[in-house]
Structure 1
């Protein structure tokens, strides 16, 4: 567990990155004039900055002082009110919009060159013929390789205005000359649906990694495809999904709930209340739904799980969710930066708040995972702390609790068998992905002409590759010893190869083989059919 504690802040921070930037489209009536009224407190801060600018003995970057001041103010509010500096704003905005304008490749800065992992399906680079393993050397005659290359400059060269032209010169292995490509930049999706496929003849599976502006359309396309394949039940996997837009979550919920069912309650500081209800939309209202959650399912993920649980729809499976019941609205600060400020609390249809306490400061708030680990609740449902005064009852008489996350209907403990935690970390880490890229550089021909079905059924990770990665991990910065985990490791390596060759759907399908929560779903389905 030593390595895991070392990387825990990174894991939690990454998982919650989108969750703390939840968008809001609520219609509370605070006017701009009221919000930005001048007062002496603001004058005091402005005057102090002016004194430092004009009178202080040394030259000071007052922009950095302002950033520190803003962050200090927000840290005294709640853990989810956050400041976005101007140099980070565009990347954050892309994440929430669910797309960006560019050429559509996933890539590494490999040694000193942009190396294409794969072209994004349907994107401009794929249509132009750029392939995995290609090296992009020039963009519009500008050299973009060498020691001076950095990620920020690469992004600026490859991104651009929609429909703007770009010319690339590309090196491809075994080609004598550089290849020329000319095409237009287009909107490229940041995919929300990590996977969508059938678990068996009757059960479909969809995994969502966020709730961005484009998520609902992706989700609806995946759901329609599975409905056309005659599924009767659906698994909606929201594990490690940090959240996103409330409006997107509501549209996903609407696919499952009957007309006029209460979906969500929001309340602001003035006591104004909004209630949102399911509409006539909904193509899976008669189907069975299972929602998978864990300790990193937050915000919009909890809205979905809570709305279905409180309306006695489907089954929530997994472990207690993160516990974020606050709503943020993004507000520009006029210089390219912005603040996402908490403006309301939300409540599930039974009236419960699932926001966990944050009065002991941000450090205590974000170390809650460690507390849950120590008190045993990740392995035993009876160790989950509940408060009787926060007990609520659904229309069919099921008892649910507020005060800190969604407690699942069916508990599935964290897999603590030998090697599971370690392999789960490395299988989704950058250094395994990077290792696989290097492996494919030397062995890409081996997979030429092999479709995904053949890969799943016929490709086996051999001992030499497994041993090579064990050595690689041992001498990597993480210094992880994987000796003795070979069987689990081989599955993770195969999944990472599949991801780079065939995309995220292939990655998840392989990693999900033997998954404890999915095994529980299939057990429930089998029991139900046997009882019919």
Structure 2
């Protein structure tokens, strides 16, 4: 790799780690924080002194934010402050829906470009198509202004049943159109797909644990059972967590009555145990759970419950290692704090929280560097385990605590050793932007192709990877993909399938050459 790329793994892992940090296990009680003791009163008086007496004008809100962040940094890596601007969008994501027009888009050359309208969503019903540019929302100009994301979203969101008049430029016909869209409640899926890999094997991909995840999972599993599956693969790769309860609900569908799922212990030593009920719909078929270094929190609860009860097989690489429970508490200004209130333990009694030193969040988040350097992403024997943290599953198998879930079947990274940045580049969204721009050059070329016809064209196309290399170079990253051409092409072709045909078709293409799926099927 060239000079810029060698820093790519660290950069990407840092971003992913931050996502895991804010996407951890949550419980949302309706609490308000108020000052009650002398220390809190002192802090309030200091802010008042600055407001009233300091020689220059100072934004006291920014001082408060800095103070809160400074306090939380001294606690643990997962106790965090969420400002109002982020909290509202976070709440929507975890709720599982929002009111809007229903499009996937990104800013392409300072213009809102529609990657795809959501199936059966308001935009699709109004006739908006992939590749359309949204120039105006009512009379507000959206292009050429570098609008911040929250301003842009606010123009497209609104009250349910309200309308927005969009001015659209359709590039492939070179026409400007007026489209009236009626806003509706739009689901934010946390289960990407529930499909079959073969007649007896089902596959469910969960991207996070939101309020609606259990309902989405249950529907998907029910549909797969009707198709006659006897084996279920649950994909938790790159799933940073979410609501503990949703992970417990899903585990309950797979475990037998009275199997322990998880237990938590708080500051006072109080232990709260959660057991499976008798109402599981998939208690006897084979179960495989896919994890990687970005599977955290609620993902680890589900994987740990399956592993410790000897209910299934964990496949992949060692998970992130987050065993702390956060509770969200709201401030009156719309901000919130997520505060660690307990530790959780898998059924065998192990904590999978990786070590951390208070106040050293940066070092904690860069623990991925150690995984690169140790070689554990390529060899299971390189995973450091502590013999002092040895536990036994229900059937007596040895498992270890102290730093994530170690898989039963290890599957290394598919890229060449030393080029880990390529693997994580594939999960940044840049492939989606590249494919959009390739399609945008001539959408008519693909308009009448079936999936099988497209795959035949893609198989014979030897230019895709080199075009992507040039695209990356043009955006400022020189990436050498010569040692990983087939790996990168798999992602590119699958993304073409997604943007042309849909989410299910993406996974149909992608999973055919997925190393973890191959490890299971063989």
One fold, TM greater than 0.5?
Answer: yes
Moved over 6 A (4+): none
Question: What is residue 529 of structure 1 aligned with on the other side?
Answer: none
Moved more, 219-228 or 18-27: 18-27
2:316 aligned with 1:314, yes or no? no
Question: What is residue 155 of structure 1 aligned with on the other side?
Answer: 153
What's the RMSD between the two structures over aligned residues?
Answer: 2.4
Distance of aligned partners of 1:162 and 1:406 in 2 relative to their CA distance in 1, 3 Å threshold: same
Pairs within 5 Å for 1:345-364: 345-359=343-357, 361-364=360-363
Q: 1:486-527 CA distances to partner (integer Å, 9 max, x unpaired)?
A: 43333332122122222333333333332221111011xxxx
Pairs within 5 Å for 1:196-215: 196-215=194-213
What secondary structure does 1:217 align onto? Answer: helix
Q: 1:165-193 CA distances to partner (integer Å, 9 max, x unpaired)?
A: 22222222354753332232112222222
What secondary structure does 1:345 align onto? Answer: strand
What secondary structure does 1:126 align onto? Answer: helix
Cα distance in 2 for partners of 1:26, 1:246 equals: 11
2:244 aligned with 1:246, yes or no? yes
Give the conservation status (yes or no) of the 8 Å contact 1:16–1:296: no
Pairs within 5 Å for 1:377-416: 377-416=376-415
2:489 aligned with 1:490, yes or no? yes
2:139 aligned with 1:137, yes or no? no
Distance of aligned partners of 1:19 and 1:251 in 2 relative to their CA distance in 1, 3 Å threshold: farther
CA apart distance, 1:126: 1.5
CA apart distance, 1:321: 0.9
Alignment size in residue pairs: 519
What secondary structure does 1:17 align onto? Answer: helix
Cα distance in 1 for partners of 2:6, 2:221 equals: 36
Distance of aligned partners of 1:465 and 1:307 in 2 relative to their CA distance in 1, 3 Å threshold: closer
CA apart distance, 1:37: 6.1
Give the conservation status (yes or no) of the 8 Å contact 1:323–1:404: yes
Q: 1:86-129 CA distances to partner (integer Å, 9 max, x unpaired)?
A: 11111111221122211000112222321111001121111222
Cα distance in 2 for partners of 1:40, 1:364 equals: 33
Give the conservation status (yes or no) of the 8 Å contact 1:16–1:298: no
Question: What is residue 164 of structure 2 aligned with on the other side?
Answer: 166
Cα distance in 1 for partners of 2:469, 2:183 equals: 40
Question: What is residue 470 of structure 2 aligned with on the other side?
Answer: 471
Query: Quick one: which of 81, 103, 117 aligns to 2:101?
Result: 103
Could you say which structure has the greater relative contact order, defined with CA pairs below 8 angstroms and 6 or more residues apart? 2
Query: Quick one: which of 9, 14, 17 aligns to 2:16?
Result: 14
CA apart distance, 1:36: 4.5
Give the conservation status (yes or no) of the 8 Å contact 2:415–2:484: no
Question: What is residue 501 of structure 1 aligned with on the other side?
Answer: 500
Distance of aligned partners of 1:382 and 1:175 in 2 relative to their CA distance in 1, 3 Å threshold: closer
What secondary structure does 1:513 align onto? Answer: helix
What secondary structure does 1:178 align onto? Answer: strand
Question: What is residue 119 of structure 2 aligned with on the other side?
Answer: 121
Question: What is residue 510 of structure 2 aligned with on the other side?
Answer: 511
Question: What is residue 230 of structure 1 aligned with on the other side?
Answer: 228
Give the conservation status (yes or no) of the 8 Å contact 2:415–2:423: no
TM-score (norm. length: structure 1): 0.91
Question: What is residue 188 of structure 2 aligned with on the other side?
Answer: 190
Distance of aligned partners of 1:458 and 1:425 in 2 relative to their CA distance in 1, 3 Å threshold: same
Structure 2 gap segments, 5+ residues each = none
Cα distance in 1 for partners of 2:413, 2:400 equals: 21
Cα distance in 1 for partners of 2:7, 2:132 equals: 37
Distance of aligned partners of 1:405 and 1:464 in 2 relative to their CA distance in 1, 3 Å threshold: closer
CA apart distance, 1:32: 6.4
Query: Quick one: which of 56, 66, 78 aligns to 1:58?
Result: 56
Distance of aligned partners of 1:86 and 1:251 in 2 relative to their CA distance in 1, 3 Å threshold: same
Give the conservation status (yes or no) of the 8 Å contact 1:139–1:169: yes
Cα distance in 1 for partners of 2:246, 2:426 equals: 29
TM-score (norm. length: structure 2): 0.93
Distance of aligned partners of 1:337 and 1:458 in 2 relative to their CA distance in 1, 3 Å threshold: same
CA apart distance, 1:226: 1.6
Give the conservation status (yes or no) of the 8 Å contact 1:21–1:340: no
Give the conservation status (yes or no) of the 8 Å contact 1:194–1:508: no
Question: What is residue 527 of structure 1 aligned with on the other side?
Answer: none
Question: What is residue 528 of structure 1 aligned with on the other side?
Answer: none
Moved more, 149-158 or 514-523: 149-158
Cα distance in 2 for partners of 1:65, 1:19 equals: 23
Q: 1:453-511 CA distances to partner (integer Å, 9 max, x unpaired)?
A: 44335543623444333222233212213345443333332122122222333333333
CA apart distance, 1:197: 2.2
Question: What is residue 432 of structure 2 aligned with on the other side?
Answer: 433
Give the conservation status (yes or no) of the 8 Å contact 1:461–1:494: no
Distance of aligned partners of 1:216 and 1:452 in 2 relative to their CA distance in 1, 3 Å threshold: farther
Question: What is residue 181 of structure 1 aligned with on the other side?
Answer: 179
Question: What is residue 445 of structure 1 aligned with on the other side?
Answer: 444
Question: What is residue 261 of structure 2 aligned with on the other side?
Answer: 263
Give the conservation status (yes or no) of the 8 Å contact 2:28–2:329: no
Give the conservation status (yes or no) of the 8 Å contact 2:25–2:297: no
